Amino acid sequence: MKINQISVVFFSATGRTRRAAEQVASALPLAADWLDITPHAADGLARSFGPDELVVWAAPVYGGRLALQAAQRFARLKGKQTPAVLLAVFGNRDYDDALLEMQDIAQAAGFVPFACAAPVAEHSLMPGIAAGRPDEQDAQQLADFARGLWQTLQQAPAAADLRVPAVKGKRPYKDYPSIPFKPAASQACVQCGVCARACPAGAIPLEHPNQTDKTRCLSCMRCVSVCPQGARSVNKLLLAAAGKAFALKFGARKEPEFFIGR
């Protein structure tokens, strides 16, 4: 089948998911349009895609699930038997039900998620886990995946001929765990509002950017990574203790997983 347009719709709080998506997109033969659904302002966004388009969906795994705001924003996309590539990017622990959840949302929205992957990226919360990933080896595997899915598209007469692969995961999906790391602003905060505008959850009030609504906060670390003053952080002692235990259990390298429907 002929593809006339490639789009990448991505949620990436600290940029690692975006990097994995770039490694896939750069091995595809058409330049992609990039649609960022990370900020809170993307909440009302709706987009429709046709059957001659390819849409790459990319989001991080939080607590073995698809990041909640990503799930809600993906559900507003509309496909018309549109081929889709799904990337659930995880931080070397596990992706549990996240890829299955993404696949369910994509199918309900009219997409055919014939190519799915769980790439590994540096953990955005636990320091030092999968540091530097996706690395060269990941990049090669992601590029091979991109070439393989493109070949599958070329060989299929129409989207109806694409198969949706079985992926890991269970329904009902696991519950979101509560995550105790909520970033706070220090005295260095100049209330510029960069974090408030970037926050995916609307957890930082624009009129008081030195505050955090902990009930809304996802612990995604976006505010920490975008703050120009380095004024936002989580409790370092708590994080260091949790990080040590985490590294013992999940420090060993894991490999990305790939599924193409055949």
Ligand X SMILES: Cc1cc2nc3c(=O)[nH]c(=O)nc-3n(C[C@H](O)[C@H](O)[C@H](O)COP(=O)(O)O)c2cc1C
Residues that bind ligand X (CB under 6 A): 12-17, 60-64, 89-94, 121-125, 179, 219-221
Closest distance of CB 81 from ligand X, Å: 29
Q: Which is nearer to ligand X, 10 or 114 (CB)?
A: 10
If you write DSSP's letter for every residue of 186-224 in order, what string do you get? Answer: -TT-----HHHHH-TT--S-TT-TT---TTT-----HHH
Closest distance of CB 256 from ligand X, Å: 11
Shortest-Cβ-distance residue relative to ligand X: 91
Residues in CB range of 47: below 8 A, 6 or more apart: 9, 35, 76, 77, 78
Q: Which is nearer to ligand X, 74 or 150 (CB)?
A: 74
Closest distance of CB 135 from ligand X, Å: 13
Closest distance of CB 218 from ligand X, Å: 6
If you write DSSP's letter for every residue of 57-72 in order, what string do you get? Answer: EEEEEETTEE-HHHHH
Closest distance of CB 168 from ligand X, Å: 13
Closest distance of CB 80 from ligand X, Å: 28
Chain-centroid distance of CA 142 in Å reads 15
Q: Which is nearer to ligand X, 18 or 55 (CB)?
A: 18
> Cα(184)–Cα(238) distance, rounded to whole angstroms?
14
Q: Which is nearer to ligand X, 29 or 230 (CB)?
A: 230
Q: Which is nearer to ligand X, 91 or 169 (CB)?
A: 91
Pair 63, 179: CB distance under 8 Å: yes
Q: Which is nearer to ligand X, 23 or 92 (CB)?
A: 92
- Label residue 182 exposed, middle or buried (CB < 10 Å: 0-12, 13-18, 19+): middle
Q: Which residues pair with 56 in a beta bridge?
A: 8, 85
